[in-house]
Structure 1
């Protein structure tokens, strides 16, 4: 019996996920508005500086909701203030490092970095090179276990094909864990990157947390915001893996693994 229909079905499923990305992102935004009262119950820990990095071709505008949320939790939070994310240009790599160094000097403590998509890849690279600056890394739908987008990505249809390439990975292994605590938030319903490219080796200070979100909706999805708040609330010297909340029906926000 031929096995060709299976890849064809997967392609159709991937196409459906990609085409419904904008609509599903709006659903996450609506769920956020409805779930604000519950999100007020999110964990709060020691306030410390947080940097939020945007995804590919996005700017600080795309992370505004997330940054405001973290600010309300008490964390001094900043965007990267480097315009649109066009990839790892030298001035961007240096700019992120300089920003983190300035915050460390200003607050006297390492910085947590939250990176969406390509921003999460930047965060992990910085943590590998200068772990003394980084308290922990949280990546949202970041395909760090695969080859990242080219430094100068194409636009229009070419950009779409480049992203689709990240869904065509047949064999890959979870990325090696960082030396600092790290949480990768991923979704099997990601319509932009293959969710397997978002996995890292799990260990005493590294984990992968599944949510229902779309790729574009990661920054406004209630489950993602809860995970980010919970992770930032972890004591710097006593990090523990995420436990899905069971109160007030919040467990329903997370898929059964």
Structure 2
């Protein structure tokens, strides 16, 4: 079913999941990230929208938001509080947010940065509304199989009354349609929530898959992740594409 280079697919190891206990330390160290990243390129003022992961809200994206604002980007929250995992419903909410922000800023297309499930929403909005989205960056996002290769698979499936195998097929069919925008995928082989091999984009030729070393819960405050995001944004066109 999948592109040949994918497999084997499996949830994170128990060891990796146990190592997620280091996340509080990663959050603590985040306060020193700005000093470490003093030389990252400055932004061009474009619009960015941050989307939190499953069970998280805008607060989880606050350190990254402040960093991106400090290097001259206009940064918006997704605006819908806690991400409760209702993908289709939340995709529609995010799409409306993106359209409103774009309309209020001279029809400027936006870059969406999504953490974990937030990256799924970002990619889906980019696929469905390509004129509104100039670029997508994901962090530890379960791209393959939906929740099937995550530690929360059974809990999520039960809460959503979902058949994981059927949903995996549905996600594959959606992924196979592709995304036209630049896509940067940040993943970690030590991710203790999402199986790392399911967090890599092998559907889109333009996708850049970049490995980092950090926990899943600490990915959004990791200095190397912030550096990758800043350098990715700087390498993009200085002017976001306008809606057509």
Q: How many residues align?
A: 216
Bigger RCO of structures 1 and 2 (CA < 8 A, at least 6 apart): 2
5+ long unaligned stretches in structure 2? 1-9
1:225 corresponds to: 226
2:82 corresponds to: 84
TM-score (norm 1): 0.74
SS in structure 2 of the partner of residue 189 of structure 1: coil
Runs of 4+ in 1 over 4 A off after TM superposition: 159-162
CA distance 1:203–1:120, change in 2 (3 Å): closer
- Map 1:128-207 → 2, pairs under 5 A: 128-148=127-147, 158=155, 177-201=178-202, 205-207=206-208
Alpha-carbon distance in structure 2 between the residues aligned to 1:238 and 1:47: 9
The one-character-per-residue Cα deviations of 1:71-109 (angstroms, maximum 9, x if unpaired) are 111111111121211123555322211110111112231
Instruction: Decide which of 39, 42, 45 is 2:40's aligned counterpart.
Output: 42
TM-score (norm 2): 0.77
Q: How far apart are residue 42 of structure 1 and its match?
A: 1.1
What is the root-mean-square deviation in Å for CA atoms of aligned residues?
3.2
5+ long unaligned stretches in structure 1? 1-9, 240-257
In the alignment, is the contact (CA less than 8 A) between 1:45 and 1:235 conserved in 2? no
Q: Quick check: 201-210 or 131-140, which moved more?
A: 201-210
